[in-house]
Structure 1
Amino acid sequence: MHHHGYLWTGPKQRFDDEALRRPPHPDPPPADGKPELIQRHREVKAEFPVVDLPPLETAYWLIKPEKLVRGTWEEPKEAAQWLGERLAEYAPRFASESDRDSTRLALLVNSAAEQLGWGGDVSHGFYLERPSFLSVALVTCSPNRAMPDLACPTTGHLTRGSAQR
């Protein structure tokens, strides 16, 4: 078991495009259905796996391109440390003063280490200044507890303790 880190920042309006943040329905609309529904299903089916937007269900990060992985760790504490570093980096930009509280952020990091330790995923989101949004996630891989059939995005090569900003 190992853990992958993901980070996304961008306009809140783009984050709110939920159609691209959820997988397409497994059954396409009927062939004689409304053309706009058929077209939208095709678009979502093509775009969901490759778009950089955070998925609504954290485990679906695993089907996204490998280039979106910001770090990979075997140890939950190392992955949680990366989370803590990202939270500290972005905290000055958090729109809510209570989100900037260092005690609260430390609790999030400690909780993340615990969740990852039993195979859970971690996902947090914060409003930033200028209606932007930060999404940061840690996803357990090989297997993922919520979706064990999802393949690891790093095609089997684990880089110990590696991380990008």
Structure 2
Amino acid sequence: MHHHGYLWLGEKRTFDRESVRRPAPQAPGAGGDEEVRERHREAVAAFPMSEVPPLQTSHWLLKPPALVRGTWAQPRDAGRWLGERLAEVAPRFAGEADRSAGRLARLVDAAVERLARGGDVSLGHYLRGTLFHSVALVTCSPNRAAPGLPCPTGGHGGGAGAPPPRAPVS
């Protein structure tokens, strides 16, 4: 078991577009409307390439490996990364209570506990203005919510073969 980190910062209105945040439904029947089939083809192509956080946290595993910001074998290491990401943007959180160092530490501690039990973590915060910050840690190999999903990095638990962490988004 290992954990992948994902990060997104973007316009709230983009985050609110649920159509880009879910995988395409089952393909329409052959006798269906051509327009419906075309929309389905577009959805099949768009979802995996979209960096917008999926509605279901485990669906990050359907995204390309390039979106993985880091991979850790130990929950505590993944939690450290989470804490760093939160600290980077905390001064911009819209809610003053969300900026509290104690609150952020409790979020990280709870995330580490959840990861240790095989769960996923997904946090989102409104930033001043119209931006939304999303950070997720997804347990992999297997994912408890979706055990059939393959590891986007080929099953690597960090180290050799795992993609290098990407630079943080600001």
Q: TM-score range by the shorter chain?
A: over 0.9
**Distance in 2 separating the partners of 1:117 and 1:31:** 48
Pairs aligned (count): 164
Contact residue 5 and residue 71 of structure 1 kept, 8 A: yes
SS of the residue corresponding to residue 8 of structure 1 reads: strand
Q: State the Cα distance separating 1:29 from its structure 2 match.
A: 5.7
1:113 and 2:142 correspond: no
Q: Helix, strand or coil for the counterpart of 1:150?
A: coil
For residues 50 and 14 of structure 1, the distance between their equivalents in structure 2, rounded to whole angstroms, comes to 14
**Per-residue deviation, 1:90:** 0.6
Mapped partners of 1:56, 1:31: distance in 2: 30
Q: Check the 8 A contact 1:82/1:163 in 2, yes or no.
A: no
Question: TM-score, normalized by length of structure 2?
Answer: 0.90
2:19 paired with 1:22:
no
Identity of aligned residues (%): 57
CA displacement, residues 93-143 of structure 1 (integer Å, 9 cap, x when unaligned)? 111111111111111100000000010000001111220110100000000
Contact 2:12–2:132 (8 Å) recurs in 1 = yes
Letter in 1 for 2:63: K
The reply to whether residue 86 of structure 1 matches residue 85 of structure 2 is yes
Contact 2:141–2:155 (8 Å) recurs in 1: no
Residue identity in the other structure for 2:15: F
- Residues 54-79 of structure 1 deviation map (CA, whole Å, 9 limit, x = unaligned): 00000000010100000000000110
Match of 2:54 in 1: 55
Preserved CA contact (<8 Å) 2:57 2:136: yes
Compare 113-122 and 23-32 and name the one that shifted more.
23-32
Q: Which consecutive residues of structure 2, in runs of 5 or more, have no partner in the other structure?
A: none
Cα RMSD, aligned residues only: 1.7
Per mean C-alpha deviation after superposition, the further-off stretch among 120-129 and 148-157 is 148-157
Spell out the pairing of 1:1-165 with structure 2 (5 A cutoff).
Answer: 1-28=1-28, 31-33=31-33, 35-160=34-159, 163-164=165-166, 165=168
Aligned 8 A contact 2:92 2:127 in 1: yes
